[in-house]
Amino acid sequence: MKKIIYIFLIILLFGCSNKKVRSNSMKNNTVETNRQYLDDNTLDNSSILQEENNLNYFINEKPIIIQFPNSYIINTSENFCQYKIDSINIYNSNSKESQSVEIKNKNVFLFKLPENDEWLYCFVSDDIHGYICIYDISKESFYGNFEENRKSGNTYRTLLIKEYELLKKYPNIKRYGPLLEIIYNHNVIRFWDSFVGENVAQKYRYQLLDYYEGYNEILIRKQLWEGSEDYIYNLQSDDYVCEIEDTPYFNKSRDAVFSLEYGYGDPIVYLRLFTIKNGVYEKIIDESLTLDYEYSTNGFWINNDEFQIEYNEKYYDNINDELTERKVILSVNRKNPKFEFEIIKK
C-alpha cells in the first residue's frame, strides 16, 4: 500500500506546476531549479527559518523535493549533512559565473550532488538556497574555535586540533568541510563524510590522526554516531591495509605494531598485535585482557622485540584492611625471528 502511495505522489509531483527556488537576490536565475512540498501545506513566509532548531523542524517535518535539470531529485529529509558556515557564496547554478549571494555565520544543510565532487547544494532557509563550491568552505568553518574545542571534553572536537596541525605541516593535505583531500603522486584521494540524512546510526565523519610520510600511510579515524574505528590507509595502493582499532604503537624497525582498545563499561583491554612485511599487516595476537583499571593503562616498546603494558590493579590488602592499588606489568616478547610472541605477567 505504501509503495502505491509513493508512486502516486511521484506522478502527482511531476504533474504539478513547480515553483522556482531562488534567494531574494537571485531573481534573474538562469537555471530554474524546481521544488514542491510533499505535503499539501504551504510554508508560511513569515516563519523564515533562521535558527538551527527551526531548520531541523523544516528538514524533518516539511521535506521538499529539489529537482534539477538532469531530473536528479534531492529529498531534503535525507542525503544531507549539517555545518555552520562562517562565510560563503551561494550561486544560482554550479558555476561561479552565475549570480550569487553571500551568507555569514549560518547553520546550513549541505546536499551532495551526483557525479560532482566540486559542488554541493546548500539550504539555509526557505528563500536562501542554491549551489556552493566545496573548495570555498574555509578551515574556520570546519575546525571552529580551538579553545572551545579543548574545553569541551569531546574527543572528536579535541582531535580536530591534531588534524589541523597535520594540515599545517603537510601542504598536500587539505580540508574543505565534509571533504578531506590528500594529493599523492599527482593523484587526489578523497574522504567524504556521510550524507545520510535522518539515519543517524550510519552517520560518520573522517578525521586524520597521523601521516607516516616515509611509509606512504596515514592513520584515519571513522568517527561514528557512537564510537569510532581507526584504520591504516596506504596512499600508494589507495586502500585500507589494517583496522587498528585504536592508537598504533610501532616498534623501531616498524615490522610490528600493537594497539590497546578499552572496553565500554567493562574492565577489559583488547590487545592486538600485527606484524608488518612489505606493507602487509598480519594479526598475530588478539587478546581480551580483563584488567581492573581506571583509564591508567599504558603501553610502550622497550626495545625492538618487546613491549610492556602497565596498569593499576585494585586489590584488598588484608594486612591493612583496606582497598589499595598496585602496578601490574604485562610483557610481550618476541620469541624467535618468526614473529611469535608470548605474554608474560610480571
CA-CA distance, 100 to 84, in Å (whole number)? 19
Amino acid at 53: N
What pLDDT does residue 333 have? 87
Write down the domain spans for the chain.
2-137, 139-243, 252-346
pLDDT per residue as tens, the chain (346 positions): 434 434 333 333 333 333 223 333 333 332 233 332 222 222 232 332 333 444 454 455 555 555 555 555 666 566 778 888 999 999 998 899 999 999 999 989 898 887 788 999 998 887 888 999 999 999 888 887 778 877 777 777 888 889 999 999 999 999 999 999 999 998 999 999 988 765 556 678 899 999 999 999 999 999 887 778 899 999 999 999 999 988 899 999 999 999 988 766 566 788 899 999 999 999 999 988 776 555 557 789 999 999 998 877 777 777 777 777 777 788 888 887 666 777 777 6
CA-CA distance, 138 to 83, in Å (whole number)? 12
Q: What is the pTM of this model?
A: 0.74
CA-CA distance, 179 to 170, in Å (whole number)? 16
**307: β partners:** 301, 332
What pLDDT does residue 266 have? 64
Q: Which residues contact 28 (CB under 8 A, 6 or more apart)?
A: 99
Question: Residue 63 has which C-alpha cell?
Answer: 521535506
CA-CA distance, 175 to 163, in Å (whole number)? 9
Report in angstroms the alpha-carbon separations of 235 from 213, 279, 280, 335: 10, 11, 13, 33
What pLDDT does residue 152 have? 77
What pLDDT does residue 311 have? 76
Q: Following CA atoms 182, 188, 189, 195 in sequence, which dihedral angle do they give, to the nearest 10 degrees?
A: 100
What pLDDT does residue 289 have? 76
- The DSSP H or E segment spanning 3 is helix 2-15
Which residues in 224-243 are b (16+ Cβ under 10 Å) and which e?
eeeebebbbbbbeeeeebbe
Q: What is the DSSP string of 108-152?
A: EEEEEPTT-SSEEEEEEETTEEEEEEGGG--HHHHH--HHHHHHH
- Three-point CA angle 233, 234, 240, nearest 5°: 45
